Homo-oligomer: A and B are copies of this chain.
């Protein structure tokens, strides 16, 4: 038996391991230091009360013969949830039919699995810096990957280079790690570029709930022409705090590849996935109820308050940065090597962030702070940072 040799080509990322090691060493040498973590990429606020209530109810239904549910009627998700997601899109004027929505255990699974739909000979275009899963999941299949530079020049929301030919394009907006978000106009340029090439855009909308600016689309399907070139991955992780609960979905529009991609994805999921738990589907549905929307919004607002605090302080200090406005991430220019800045911040302010170089070559000289700590800790961290910079 021969193993998949493409796995030998994945670079091991020691970013978060290296961070943990440096923090551990510093703590051991400075046991009294009160370290504040602004490197957290995970939500910290509990699930909304009505989501919890729906979860408790669903679990209890599974314990009663009269309401017990076995396998989902199909692997695409219960109608009640697909209808709720369709209405959610409608609330910001994007028309997605319930049958175009495929519910899953999370956007990361879909992001990893969607590549199975495409021939291994396709060329993949990925922005740099970026969330490492896009690259790794394609290296695992042996696809050729080329990069598109995102830099200070374009505020980390680059336009397509029309001289580059590619077949599959990854876009993440609002972006992880830069927090930069595409305006309608910029995203339209990408949609037009993809349509002109016959390429498909894999659009990661995981952070859409953080969008505040009117000109920033919350879905690629708000953009004219997207239905012939894009799939959209989305998640309840950031919208409703589901990072440990697990639920997400993928939108595959009818127009894409003449309907063939939707059929292939449904076949993939019914063969290699057995549907999302009834419990999580009820919890996700509750997050879309009027009460759920209000309660989840409270959590988002709390994170946004932290993001604004960080962003405003950086503006005041004249430090160039992206994100914060439409994102829980703030990406700042540190004016030195990313790891040197990490060490400086840790040593002098006892604040932990994430070196930008860990997300690609264009991340060198940049640094990511996140809005997921408490308001008090975030404010204290900002005070300390102001004193040392």
Question: Min CB distance, A133 to chain B, in Å?
Answer: 6
Interface residues on A, range: 35 or more
Question: Min CB distance, A275 to chain B, in Å?
Answer: 7
- Those of A239-260 within 8 Å (CB) of chain B: 241, 243-246, 257, 260
Query: Given A7-B267, A116-B140, A198–B244 Cβ distance below 8 Å?
Result: no
A4 touches B117 (CB 8 A): yes
**Which B residues lie within 8 Å of A116 (CB)?**
4, 140
Contact of A277 with B by CB under 8 A: yes
User: Given B7, B69, B71, B108, which contacts A273 in the complex, CB threshold below 8 Å?
Assistant: B108
B71 touches A62 (CB 8 A): no
User: Given B48, B55, B121, B260, which contacts A279 in the complex, CB threshold below 8 Å?
Assistant: B55
Q: Which residue, A64, A199, A280, has most C-beta atoms of chain B within 10 A?
A: A280
Q: How many copies does the complex hold?
A: 2
Question: Min CB distance, A264 to chain B, in Å?
Answer: 5
B43 touches A62 (CB 8 A): no
Question: Min CB distance, A192 to chain B, in Å?
Answer: 16
**Which B residues lie within 8 Å of A264 (CB)?**
3-4, 7
Question: Min CB distance, A272 to chain B, in Å?
Answer: 2
How many angstroms from the CA of A59 to the CA of B56 in the assembled complex? 6
Contact with B along A86-130 (1 / 0, CB 8 A): 000000000000000000011011011100111111100000000
How many angstroms from the CA of A5 to the CA of B113 in the assembled complex? 16
**Which B residues lie within 8 Å of A246 (CB)?**
105, 274-277
Q: Which 7 A-B pairs have the closest CB atoms?
A: A112-B272, A52-B63, A55-B59, A42-B70, A2-B119, A1-B167, A108-B274
- Chain A residues with CB under 8 Å of chain B are 1-5, 7, 10, 42-49, 51-52, 55-56, 59-60, 62-65, 68-72, 105-106, 108-109, 111-113, 116-122, 133, 136-137, 140, 167-168, 198-200, 241, 243-246, 257, 260-261, 264, 267-268, 271-280, 283
